Amino acid sequence: MSTDSVRTHTPEERNRKIDVRVEHCVQHMAEQMDRPAIGRYLEKLEREWDLNRVVTVAASAVSVLGLVLAAKDGRGWKVVSGVAAGLLLQHGVFGFGPLAELVRLLGVRTRREMDLEKFALKALRGDFERIPHEGGPLARANAALVAAQS
């Protein structure tokens, strides 16, 4: 998988755990070859929030909360809003920051990681013609992962 700023700044052990989770899911689906189950799982993937969305919503919520509390109490809550907005700006400019690191520790994936799984599953389901029908489930799973990466 090509690198991005989140994966670059994430410890390799965390990246590997996420990659293994994707590989196991694709291998499991290849063994089952249950098209309706793959379709249901793809629908679930479409609803999953990626790291950027989680960071954006969390930082925005903290910023709004700080403003609301500042209006009620006034004592330093504006600083909370300022810090949250600054961290969100940092994430937007650099593609990574402390908020992304925290969210990543919770196992939240990047859009690219989610798309890899999604396209591998679509390939298994037969949405792409490049996947061989001969060979065992592992061979089909590997071919699907390669097709999704290209």
Local confidence pLDDT in tens for the 150 residues of the chain: 445 889 988 899 999 999 999 999 999 999 998 999 999 999 999 999 999 999 999 999 999 999 999 999 877 889 999 999 999 999 999 888 999 999 999 999 999 999 999 999 998 888 877 667 777 888 878 887 877 765
For helices 77-94 and 51-72, angle between their N-to-C axes, nearest 10 degrees: 160
Domain locations in the chain as residue ranges: 5-149
Q: What is the pLDDT of residue 130?
A: 67
| Burial group, residue 94, by CB count within 10 angstroms (0-12, 13-18, 19+) | exposed
Residue type, 25: C
**Nearest residue to 145 via CA among 11, 26, 2, 43:** 26
Q: What is the pLDDT of residue 3?
A: 52
Q: What is the pLDDT of residue 1?
A: 44
Q: What is residue 136's DSSP assignment? A: -
Q: What is the pLDDT of residue 84?
A: 94
